[in-house]
Structure 1
Amino acid sequence: MSFEFNKRFDALFWRWAKRRTSAQKTVTLKHRAIYVLPSKAGVCFFVAVILLWLLGTNYENNLVLAASFFLVSLFIVAIIHGFRNLAGLQLTALPARPVFAGEPLELSVRLKARAGTTSGRVSLAADVNRAVVTDVAKDTEEQLALRLATQGRGWFTPERILVQSYYPLGLLRTWSWVRFDVRLLVYPKPLACAQPATIGRDDGERSATQLQGDDFDGFKRYQPGAPLTHIAWKLYARGAGLHIKQYASAELDSVWLDFRAVSGDREARLSALCYLALQWHQAGRTFGLRLLEQQIEPASGQEHLHRVLQALALFELEQEPL
């Protein structure tokens, strides 16, 4: 019951807090977005102070009253220091490497304290059960990596990031919600398919590509995007520069990843094409992509693989660049 109440309260509070913040790539925490409430330890501390004050009043003990007043003053000072610990803290979202759907995505966040100050024991979390804690020293920057759960393909935007601290005494929870104006790419989840390598071509059109055979046929200078498995490392070790091993090849039809050539619903087809793209890239093959009205010409290399996977990720979704 308590857990359900906390979730409901959190959802209501977030809807209210969301109106007070704006999504930005670099967020600076200001007084309107910083909230301070007693922690569990702080509530117990405050109850103990009240009991101490009642005890001193009842027995007219000035020493006990002075101790209770001192503890109240300490609590008030903790409020000020806790608020100043987060005030002015600057958070910047950094680019993240694309992942496949279902894999955790690592979002790097750079933290910088207000000029001339430090921020102690600051924690960031996209999931309250996976917080990352750090200290931001004066005039320095810290970088944290947050793990975000992903589900579907396409652009992924973290809804909110929790920034909180129990500095300095653990009696108060000072926190803020941060929204980053950043979109992170999630590829389709690769799933093995029963189809062999798909051969697709337009009617009346025949394009050829060179697929590697088994017979060695000399060396040539390295070109960006060539498979690393074909680099002649022995020549490189002798100082001859980067060369690629050439093999006798047979001229075959250009290999295409064709959306129409695989079976299943839309997501199953995209997952199968993603799997084939990874397999063919690892084998050093040259291939193209056909997605209904969209087409990517045959090529190879890491950049080409990214273009193909991005096209699969954004198929029939919003396709604006980041």
Structure 2
Amino acid sequence: MQTSHRLETLFWRWTERRSPRARQVTLRHRSIYVVPSLSSLGFLLATVLLWLLGTNYQNNLILATSFFLIALFFITILHAFQNLSGIKLSGLNTQPGFCGEIFHIAIEVAASAQGKDHYLTLTESAQSEVSVVVPARGVVKVNLPVQTQTRGWLSLGRLMVKSHYPLGLTRVWSWVYLDAQALVYPQPKPAQLALHFGADGDSEDGARLLADDDFIGFADYQPGAPLTHVAWKQYARGGELQLKQYGGAEQDSLWLDYQRLMGDVETRLSGLCYLALQWQKSGRDYGLLLPGLRIEPACGESHLHKVLKALALFDLRDVS
């Protein structure tokens, strides 16, 4: 078992040396492999039988047919190789998303200078397979579905480019190591507030969750807001659950504090991600407090991406 695993590892290292990982990869003869397909076995068997039949009965028409089929088989190998030769694959920027979602890694496939269409299939795993037709001298954008399971940088694995063009008698393929990445945010899930923090939203280090100067009105309830800011009297009288708003220099300024939430690392990061999305929708300024990192309160899409990126890469060795 260990020997076969070592041989497999050495084989994949050998293929990667022949086609190094890069942002753009062009398929050349060094990295393209052609073998007869299973369906070609029946084709070759029928060809041999025809040749034997023609030889036995000295029938020139049957012999000519068998020779034609043999020539067709070898010509098919040439066309199968040319179908992949010269194809350029480029990794494009992929929009970030959340853990657990199916990402669509963007790949650009450009045809060679030859004036013909190319028929191929891109496969990253059993669940990630896309067939594409690239027109002559054309460019096609392919979105390859990839299931995400962990936060951080999602790198495209070993990509197989394969084809059975033109008649299905050959199987031609190439392994490509494409440098394509996407940022995976933590999965947004509500998390519980740590018990050692008071209901007024103040932590042991004095950091405030909300400013509470002068009362200025009500706002819709947002998950994660301090219980002391809930308008309990209005809710008890049958009204909707709302928050009391206060004026002052720190109005609507909130902190996403890692230490305020309960659970393990992933549970806390998911809770912070959930709150960031909720507070972004409410238009409030919010900041982020992580061990060793502090992002000052702000608002907007760029600020949200900065916060979510920090959560995605938190405590990971490779954050490049």
Kindly state the Cα deviation for residue 209 of structure 1 after the two structures are TM-superposed. 6.5
Higher mean alpha-carbon deviation, 249-258 vs 312-321, is at: 249-258
Distance 2:148 2:10 in 1: 24
Distance 1:259 1:215 in 2: 27
Q: 1:116 to 1:19 in 2, by over 3 A?
A: closer
Distance 1:54 1:272 in 2: 74
- Counterpart of 2:264, as a letter, is D
Q: 1:303 to 1:114 in 2, by over 3 A?
A: same
Distance 1:316 1:198 in 2: 29
Structure 2 match to 1:195 = 193
Structure 1 residue 250 corresponds to structure 2 residue 247: yes
Structure 1 match to 2:68 = 70
Conservation of the 8 A alpha-carbon contact between 2:83 and 2:119: no
Distance 1:209 1:90 in 2: 56
Q: Counterpart of 1:126 in 2: which secondary structure? A: strand
Distance 2:210 2:172 in 1: 64
- Segments of structure 2 that go 5 or more residues without pairing to the other structure are 220-244
Higher mean alpha-carbon deviation, 204-213 vs 301-310, is at: 204-213
Distance 2:126 2:276 in 1: 36
Higher mean alpha-carbon deviation, 249-258 vs 287-296, is at: 249-258
Distance 1:111 1:298 in 2: 42
- Segments of structure 1 that go 5 or more residues without pairing to the other structure are 1-6, 217-247
Distance 2:206 2:152 in 1: 35
Distance 2:37 2:7 in 1: 16
Distance 1:294 1:206 in 2: 17
Conservation of the 8 A alpha-carbon contact between 2:192 and 2:261: no
Distance 2:205 2:24 in 1: 51
5 Å matches for 1:297-308? 297-308=296-307
Structure 2 match to 1:233 = none
Structure 1 residue 289 corresponds to structure 2 residue 288: yes
Structure 2 match to 1:310 = 309
Conservation of the 8 A alpha-carbon contact between 1:55 and 1:64: yes
- Counterpart of 2:32, as a letter, is I
**Structure 1 counterpart of 2:30, from 22, 29, 32:** 32
Q: CA RMSD in A?
A: 3.1
Kindly state the Cα deviation for residue 57 of structure 1 after the two structures are TM-superposed. 2.7
Structure 1 match to 2:228 = none
Distance 1:25 1:154 in 2: 19
Structure 1 residue 85 corresponds to structure 2 residue 71: no
- Counterpart of 2:177, as a letter, is R
Conservation of the 8 A alpha-carbon contact between 1:198 and 1:258: no
Distance 2:285 2:211 in 1: 7
Kindly state the Cα deviation for residue 296 of structure 1 after the two structures are TM-superposed. 0.6
- Counterpart of 1:300, as a letter, is C
Kindly state the Cα deviation for residue 16 of structure 1 after the two structures are TM-superposed. 4.1
Conservation of the 8 A alpha-carbon contact between 2:106 and 2:142: yes
Q: 1:105 to 1:207 in 2, by over 3 A?
A: closer
Structure 2 match to 1:113 = 111
Conservation of the 8 A alpha-carbon contact between 2:105 and 2:143: yes
Kindly state the Cα deviation for residue 136 of structure 1 after the two structures are TM-superposed. 1.5
Q: Normalized against structure 2, the TM-score is what?
A: 0.79
Cα deviation code 1:1-34 (max 9, x no counterpart): xxxxxx9998886454233210011110000111
Alignment length (residue pairs): 284
Kindly state the Cα deviation for residue 179 of structure 1 after the two structures are TM-superposed. 0.8
What percent of counterpart residues are identical? 44
Cα deviation code 1:141-198 (max 9, x no counterpart): 1111110111101111111111111111121111111111232211111112233999
Q: Normalized against structure 1, the TM-score is what?
A: 0.78
- Counterpart of 2:256, as a letter, is L
